[in-house]
Amino acid sequence: MKSRLIQASLKFRRMAMLAGRTSAVFLNKEMAGESVRLLGWVQTRRDHGGVIFVDLRDRSGLVQVVFNPDMADNGFALAEKLRSEYVVEIKGKVRLRPEGSENPNMQTGEIEVIAEELKILNRAKTPPFYIQDNIDVDESVRLKYRYMDLRRPDMLKVMFIRHKVMQLMRNFLDKQGFWEIETPILMKSTPEGARDYLVPSRVNPGCFYALPQSPQIFKQLLMVAGMEKYYQIARCFRDEDLRADRQPEFTQLDLEMSFIEMDDILPLMEDLITMIFKEIKGIDIPKPFPRLSYYEAMERYGSDKPDTRFGMELIDVAEVVRNSGFKVFTDVLAKGGRVKGICAKGCSNMPRREIDALTKFVSIYGAKGLAYIVWGEDGLKSPIIKFFTEEEINNLMATMGAEQGDIVFFVADKENIVHNALGNLRLELAKRLGLINPNAINCLWVTEFPMFEYDEEEKRYVAMHHMFTSPLDEDLGILETEPLKVRAKAYDMVLNGIELGGGSIRIHRRDVQERIFALLGMSIEEAKDKFGFLLEAFDYGTPPHGGLAFGLDRLIMILAGRDNIRDVIAFPKTQSASCLMSQAPSPVKKEQLKELHIKLDIKDKANN
């Protein structure tokens, strides 16, 4: 990875030179004897009484500056006053370090700068934590002093990668004929999907804008508008609970194209992503990416974003156990549920308490139990073995592909619970057993998502992707009769089990769109109220179109080898959606609320 990144960073070093300033890591042996002007922060000061060493840090790296007592203008006395994070300007000469005092651990360790002039541009309070990599500091402290945290080389590197990726995307899409077009941040609240962030309108009392969950509707309107190829690096807002890979505001590479089908857009997106991995990491990802149907992904991996860097697939054992004497399994099957298992290779010596822990683990996902059979050195051991005949057991172990030394685990329940529980158990076991090669990059597409899911709470169908997603042509006939079987022209790109992006081919015919609205239990009037402008637009010559959006933060997270997206966002929010640095959100003055015609209805907390 380094070569390309360093090549790229050379550019900003040249820029620095133009400003009459030299970046720290630009200095090298060949520059010995040259006069330079350095600007940056004091990393460390080592005061030996008669000589002072200062490691000067700028965005590019570190260089050692030497202060001797014979400096002009009292420079040495000034150097004695230097402290960590002071901002300084140093003029001096580059020279090779005396023999034996080179520092091979430092990129500029062969040289040093003899200071001739020192100017303290600004002093600094003692930093709350070290400005260096691999610090062990509570994240809340880092977030409170984010501007300090970002000075750390690790964080600078992440920000640089992020910048580069955005430039690569823009270049790539520009060359492909995409136009970068901005869409409104203040827009109309729409039903479905995530909870909106609302913004009150002062001039329209009682009315609210919503911040976009994504530019979805506008990008479709841009297709109606004949832009043909649009993209935007767009900020999106969703007022839902946070996770390690979810922030209330996040960034998407959003794009849309006219006159395309799935087979036009998927290869193009593969080109984009593989190019980025090549440029940033020097990794070649083979194309085309494998495609898995949603059905296959769920059946084999129990997930719509399968991590296929390892096997341990889910295996259906319904036919083997259907007529057995084990009521837990047979009852579930009789009620239309599923019984599936996974085989953990070489785990037969797993201690009982660990198996109990796994049982607890699957209960998180609603599984009522975790059946298991251990195939140890002295044969099979299991609390459930007594319910089966020998033939059934042999059959079961054969179906599971189990051998001596393995454990097989089973979950019996409703289909979604079985898949969710085993899918996550599979990942958990892989993590514990170290089955995942951390350097592997594994990309695939999941396609043929169902159009609808049934929402038990609302007692109606809801769109799985969104309500503008086109059904597969061959499934249009069963739209009203068997809606749950209708598949969508929707696709997700999955990278190492992380959903990187997703999109769909959109409905461009009004009649189909109205049938979808009807199925979602939305009357024409309601649809007109919510999306009238879009429906109306569709009447004026809408081209077939489709698109996709990538989660930029997640992509950067993977590229930078991080395990949460806070680390790749300059100023992220905490799990409670607040900013520890700026203290947002915060109460506002009564007058501000009054102007907005808003009265608060909360208990006692912060009621102005």
Partner RNA sequence: GGCCCCGUGGUGUAGUGGUUAACAUGCCUGCCUGUCACGCAGGAGAUCGUCGGUUCAAAUCCGAUCGGGGUCGCCA
Q: Which residues bind RNA (CB under 7 A)?
A: 44, 46-51, 53, 55, 64, 66, 68-69, 83-84, 97-98, 100-103, 105-106, 109, 112, 126, 128-129, 135-141, 143, 193-195, 213-214, 238, 240-246, 304, 364-366, 420, 424, 449, 464-465, 490, 492, 499, 502, 549, 564, 566, 574-576, 578, 580
Name the minimum Å distance from CB 422 to RNA: 13
Name the minimum Å distance from CB 245 to RNA: 7
- Which lies closer to RNA via its Cβ, residue 143 or residue 407? 143
C-alpha closest to that of 489 among 537, 434, 450, 441: 450
Name the minimum Å distance from CB 68 to RNA: 6
Gap between the Cα atoms of 593 and 600, Å rounded: 9
- Which lies closer to RNA via its Cβ, residue 117 or residue 228? 117
Name the minimum Å distance from CB 366 to RNA: 7
- Which lies closer to RNA via its Cβ, residue 38 or residue 549? 549
Gap between the Cα atoms of 404 and 342, Å rounded: 15
- Which lies closer to RNA via its Cβ, residue 20 or residue 50? 50
- Which lies closer to RNA via its Cβ, residue 164 or residue 426? 426
Amino acid at 419: H
- Which lies closer to RNA via its Cβ, residue 263 or residue 458? 458
Gap between the Cα atoms of 400 and 381, Å rounded: 16
- Which lies closer to RNA via its Cβ, residue 68 or residue 293? 68
- Which lies closer to RNA via its Cβ, residue 342 or residue 367? 367
Q: Could you identify the residue written with the tokens 């006053």?
A: 81
- Element (H or E) spanning 257, and its range? strand 249-258
Name the minimum Å distance from CB 95 to RNA: 8
Quick check: 126 and 84 in contact, CB under 8 A? Answer: yes
Name the minimum Å distance from CB 192 to RNA: 7
Gap between the Cα atoms of 598 and 605, Å rounded: 17
Gap between the Cα atoms of 517 and 495, Å rounded: 33
- Which lies closer to RNA via its Cβ, residue 452 or residue 517? 452
Beta-carbon contacts of residue 72 (< 8 Å; ≥ 6 apart): 116, 117
* Token output for 362: 């699957």
> What are the CA-CA distances from residue 28 to residues 23, 106, 111, 255 (Å)?
11, 11, 7, 44
CA 95 to chain CA centroid, nearest Å: 45
Name the minimum Å distance from CB 496 to RNA: 14
Helices 153-175 and 262-281 pack at an angle, to 10 degrees, of: 140
- Which lies closer to RNA via its Cβ, residue 318 or residue 579? 579
Name the minimum Å distance from CB 117 to RNA: 17
Name the minimum Å distance from CB 70 to RNA: 7
- Which lies closer to RNA via its Cβ, residue 269 or residue 380? 269
Angle (nearest 5°) at CA 284 between 278 and 285: 110
**Helix (H) and strand (E) counts in the chain:** 17, 22
* H helix runs in 282-383, sequence order: 294-301, 318-321, 327-334, 352-363
Quick check: 436 and 308 in contact, CB under 8 A? Answer: no
- Element (H or E) spanning 117, and its range? strand 111-122
Amino acid at 517: F
- Which lies closer to RNA via its Cβ, residue 283 or residue 577? 577
Name the minimum Å distance from CB 445 to RNA: 13
> What are the CA-CA distances from residue 578 to residues 144, 181, 243, 438, 590 (Å)?
11, 30, 13, 32, 21
What's the DSSP call for residue 242?
-
- Which lies closer to RNA via its Cβ, residue 139 or residue 228? 139
- Can you tell me whether residue 474 is helix, strand or coil? helix
Partner residues linked to 187 by β-bridges: 210
Q: What is the CA radius of gyration of the chain?
A: 30
Concatenating the DSSP letter of every residue in 135-181 gives: ----HHHHHHTHHHHTTSHHHHHHHHHHHHHHHHHHHHHHHTT-EE-
Gap between the Cα atoms of 39 and 41, Å rounded: 7
Name the minimum Å distance from CB 165 to RNA: 19
Name the minimum Å distance from CB 392 to RNA: 32
- Which lies closer to RNA via its Cβ, residue 245 or residue 392? 245
Quick check: 36 and 16 in contact, CB under 8 A? Answer: no
CA 268 to chain CA centroid, nearest Å: 21
Name the minimum Å distance from CB 38 to RNA: 16
End-to-end CA distance of the chain: 53
Name the minimum Å distance from CB 40 to RNA: 16
